[in-house]
Amino acid sequence: MKELITEKLNEIERRENVKILHCVESGSRAWGFASPDSDYDVRFIYVRSEDYYLRLDKTRDVIEWQLDDTLDINGWDIQKALRLLYKSNSTLFEWNSSPIVYKTTEEWKKVSSVINRYFVEKSGLYHYLSTAKRNYREYLKGETVRLKKYFYVLRPLLACKWILSEGTPPPMLFRTLMEKYLDEGVRPDVEKLLDLKMNAPEMGEGKRVDRINDYIDENLTAIDEIIKNFPDRHTHGWEELNQIFVSLMQDRGCYDH
């Protein structure tokens, strides 16, 4: 599959006249709980030629390349990515730390070397807490639930615990979060679900796991209370990101000539 993905990336660069700076897996495969039939969530950051950014007419800042049962491929323009990084967008920290990297470059290292400086704990907490709450509300409240959605609640919940304790972007792998911050009382239930998720072609509906639901209820409430009074520390400005963008434009100019 990696070979096919590499072919797709080469095709994107050729047809769109872009340079892909960084490309990773971003979904359940990167989180470490993929099913045998999980699709591939391929995400990339790209840069265009300098004159593209100097146009007066509005330009697109995303490339949506493919979406089918196997491949989900799309990417963000570097300008969009850097603007979102300034706002401490959680997606970028995940893409930067994905354990599955399909392509990366020396240019991306310029971004990667500063990216964690723009992490704002409160922004990360809000992102992961809202993700956990939404999935919990939509999928896990009934007597019969979509079992795989437990991981789409537990992972962001544990990510919040990581941020509160470590003050850094949480790691991608669910097991890393689980081993450090999941309470021992619910671990056997979660391990059982994890084994089912990773070995069953399709993890369907099943009876609600009350012990896990109680754990989720308790922790979502506790984290919600903590966030209300959490300081909003955003200390880094635009200068460093502007310098990186200009440097990338200069590099791109060399490629074009």
The answer to whether 2 touches 9, Cβ cutoff 8 Å, is no
Rg of the chain taking only CA atoms, in angstroms: 20
| pLDDT of res. 154 | 98
9-42 residue pLDDT tens: 999 999 999 999 999 999 999 999 998 889 999 9
The answer to whether 137 touches 250, Cβ cutoff 8 Å, is no
Does residue 215 surpass a pLDDT of 50? yes
| pLDDT of res. 253 | 62
Does residue 124 surpass a pLDDT of 80? yes
DSSP code of 169?
P
Residue 66: CATH number of its domain? 3.30.460
- 216-251: b (≥16 Cβ within 10 Å) or e: beebbeebeeeeeeeeeeeebeeebbeebbeebbeb
229 pLDDT band, cuts 50/70/90, is confident
Q: Which helix (H) or strand (E) holds 25?
A: strand 19-25
Q: What angle do CA 159, 212, 98 make, to 5 degrees?
A: 30
Number of domains comprising the chain: 2
Domain hosting residue 140, numbered range: 121-228
pLDDT average, residue stretch 151-165: 98
- State how far the Cα of 10 lies from the Cα of 19, in Å rounded to an integer: 9
| pLDDT of res. 254 | 52
Average pLDDT, the chain: 94
106 and 130 belong to one structural domain: no
125 and 146 belong to one structural domain: yes
| pLDDT of res. 256 | 52
| pLDDT of res. 257 | 39
pLDDT average, residue stretch 67-84: 96
245 and 177 belong to one structural domain: no
